[in-house]
Amino acid sequence: MRVREATAEDRAAWDTFADTEGGNFGHYFDWKYVLEARGHRYIPLLAETAASGIIGILPVVKQKKYLSSFFHSDAPAGGLLLKNGLSDRERYEAISALLKYVDTHYSKGCSRFVLGENLSSVSEVSEEPTAALVDSGYRFRYDVSTQLPCTFVLELKPPFEENIWKSLWSSRLRWRLNRAERNGVVVIHDREFRYLEEFIGMFFENCKRHGTIPPTREQKKMEINTFRDKAKLFVALLDSQPVVASLCYYTASTCFLWEIGSYSKDTGEVNKLCYKAPIEDACDAGYRFVDFGFSGSSSLAFFKEQFKGTRVPFRIYEKNYPIPRNLVELGAIVLNRTWHDKTYLWKKRRKLWDRIIHG
């Protein structure tokens, strides 16, 4: 087995592997150019054998933070993805080799590595950590008691009207969706991306409400334009004015409800309508699944659970490198977030204290 950093010449083979092995949208090679435009280093690692070709990929993003850096391979980078059909021993060896390569070649000056593990099918759902990751010093960040973080994956069975709308979704959900339409909301598929600027504005408002720091407007536009052939924009209009918009990205089999935005907070029923439209569209277009994306809170998980998808653990692991380096990086994050949101330090005081004590 050999581990190496993929090049632009590997792009086609890399993307084919992501499609055939059940990867998510974050696995596509072109994220390299999007994330590097945001000032990060993108390291696409692959494990291969002479007999089988690629058996695993691990896109790693190295993000610079003032006095140190940290790695991540979760959203939007796709995380660890292995070839289907490998034996337990082959999976263990591939994971161990990829992680050892990261530690050996890239870890100097980094405080931690946050890594996502991709499950290639819903049938692989498990709340147990993967032994190779634990043995390599990674801590599983999944709370069994709350079942968070998670996503929901809805299997699509056409026709939509019969198998999802009438047979799967509750009468209460249907009533709420119908009420939003009776109140005059119309959801359109914006094929020409005429409402792209409005969507980005709504997306930024969502980031502000949740205390997250978004990319710049130009960086966000570059992302969408890079994947324009794999993207659809759905916009909810009220009195011909956009009130909610949903951006969806697509792999060969799955519609990813990637991001949703709104100018104001209380748009719950319209948000639901902006989920229904792409779900119906994906079902009619022959996609097999809809992925509802990351849910880190019980309220968001409850909202998405109403659409009756299978709850899937969002498998995130974290490895801390030497403590002084980790504390420097944590302090930089706190200062940056506090500058943008003056209440951040107070709201996150318990979590920050726990991080300092337990690493």
CATH number for the domain spanning 99: value is: 3.40.630.30
Q: Per residue in 182-211, pLDDT tens?
A: 999 999 999 999 999 999 999 999 999 988
Treating both helix axes as pointing N-terminal to C-terminal, what angle do 196-210 and 217-226 enclose, rounded to 10 degrees? 120
* 270 compared with 71, residue with greater pLDDT: 270
Omega before 159 cis (within 30°)?
Answer: yes
Q: Same domain, yes or no, for 116 and 44?
A: yes
d(CA 243, CA 253): 29
* 341 compared with 122, residue with greater pLDDT: 122
Mean pLDDT of the chain: 90
Q: Per residue in 30-46, pLDDT tens?
A: 999 999 999 999 999 99
Q: Same domain, yes or no, for 13 and 106?
A: yes
Share of residues in the chain with pLDDT > 90 (%):
77
Q: Per residue in 271-314, pLDDT tens?
A: 999 999 999 999 999 999 999 999 999 999 999 999 999 999 99
Treating both helix axes as pointing N-terminal to C-terminal, what angle do 268-285 and 171-182 enclose, rounded to 10 degrees? 110
Helix (H, G, I), strand (E, B) or coil at 209: helix
Q: Same domain, yes or no, for 249 and 224?
A: yes
pLDDT of residue 347: 63
**Considering the domain boundaries, does residue 79 fall inside one?**
yes
Q: Same domain, yes or no, for 125 and 6?
A: yes
- Alpha helices (H) in the chain, listed in sequence order: 11-20, 31-37, 88-106, 131-135, 160, 171-182, 196-210, 217-226, 268-285, 298-305, 323-340, 344-347, 349-358
Q: Same domain, yes or no, for 252 and 351?
A: no
pLDDT of residue 239: 95
d(CA 348, CA 217): 27
pLDDT of residue 332: 58
Q: Domain containing 125: what range? A: 2-144+315-358
Q: Same domain, yes or no, for 180 and 233?
A: yes
**Considering the domain boundaries, does residue 345 fall inside one?**
yes
What is the mean pLDDT of the segment spanning 99-116?
A: 91
**Considering the domain boundaries, does residue 305 fall inside one?**
no
- Domain count of the fold of the chain: 2
Q: Same domain, yes or no, for 248 and 320?
A: no
Q: Same domain, yes or no, for 139 and 161?
A: no
**Considering the domain boundaries, does residue 201 fall inside one?**
yes
**Considering the domain boundaries, does residue 99 fall inside one?**
yes
pLDDT of residue 110: 85
* 127 compared with 326, residue with greater pLDDT: 127
d(CA 342, CA 208): 12
* pLDDT surpassing 80 at residue 266: yes
**Considering the domain boundaries, does residue 151 fall inside one?**
no
Q: Which of 271, 287, 303 is the last residue of a domain?
A: 287
